[in-house]
Amino acid sequence: MTIKTKRTYTNKQAHELLGISETQVKVWRRCGILVDHADGSLDVETTLTNANRSLNPTQGGRPDRGYGGRPSLTPTAPDAGSDSEVMPEILPTDPDEIRALKMAEAREKVRSLRLKNEVLEKSLIPRDMACEIFADGLANVRSALTSWPTRWRHKFVGLQPAEIERTIRAEVESILKELRDALDPDKLDTGR
């Protein structure tokens, strides 16, 4: 059988010792946050520790302070016998840091949705398809350029240098036009 001690302090005295309102003293008593010594006096440090444990860090305030502007207890290091491989997730307590993380998450969701919409609207094609289209265009240019001397050597016989230059320039422009047409986004078939 436990003997219950009667408290030896009033709500007003607890309010003065803890730096909170008398109404908050009543709430803490009801929630079991207030701790009494065996002689019935208020255990201020243990009460503040209990109060700091029940703080919600997402509701603002300095992260290193508890009720009444008192510094909260520093976290203790894990026991030597505990599993050191498992690291607990450290959640931010600074309201500005929480807000920044939420904004970054929202921006990433918007970016992801924008990319999905661009793929659905076919204004953005997959990377492998773009690489394939570009490689095909370059292969065509390479083929045209490497076959050029064989196809044109008989046409240069008896021509003046200016005419040869004009002929070469026209052929190069034709090859570049073919490449431009092959890479034209309006002519791409993205429905593969």
The answer for 69, left when phi > 0, alpha when psi is -120 to 50, beta otherwise, is left
Q: How many structural domains does the chain have?
A: 3
Provide the pLDDT for residue 192. 47
Q: Are residues 170 and 131 in the same domain?
A: yes
- Where does residue 97 fall: left (phi above 0), alpha (psi -120 to 50 degrees), or beta otherwise? alpha
What is the extent of the structural domain holding 118?
92-124
pTM listed for this prediction: 0.32
**Residue 59 counted as domain residue:** yes
Count of beta carbons in the 10 Å neighbourhood of residue 28 = 20
- Whether 169 is in a domain gets the answer yes
Residues 112, 156 within the same domain: no
pLDDT of residue 57: 58
pLDDT value of residue 92? 67
Q: Partners of 42 in the beta sheet?
A: 36
- Same domain for 158 and 180, yes or no, is yes
Domain assignment present for residue 4? The answer is: no
List, for the chain, all residue ranges whose pLDDT scores fall below the cut of 70: 1-5, 55-92, 185-192
Q: Note whether residue 77 is domain-resident.
A: no
Place of tokens 């073919």: 178
| CA–CA gap between residue 152 and residue 64 (Å, rounded) | 82
Q: Do 63 and 115 share a domain, yes or no?
A: no
Same domain, 108 and 151: no
Predicted local confidence at residue 109, as pLDDT: 93
pLDDT of amino acid 51: 80
Burial 160-171 (b: 16+ CB within 10 A, else e): eeeeeeeeeeeb
- Looking at residue 110, what is its pLDDT? 92
- For residue 62, the one-letter residue type is R
Torsion of CA 128, 130, 132, 135, to 10 degrees: -130
pLDDT digits (tens, 9 = 90+) for 149-186: 777 777 778 888 888 888 888 888 888 888 787 777 66
52 shares a domain with 18: yes
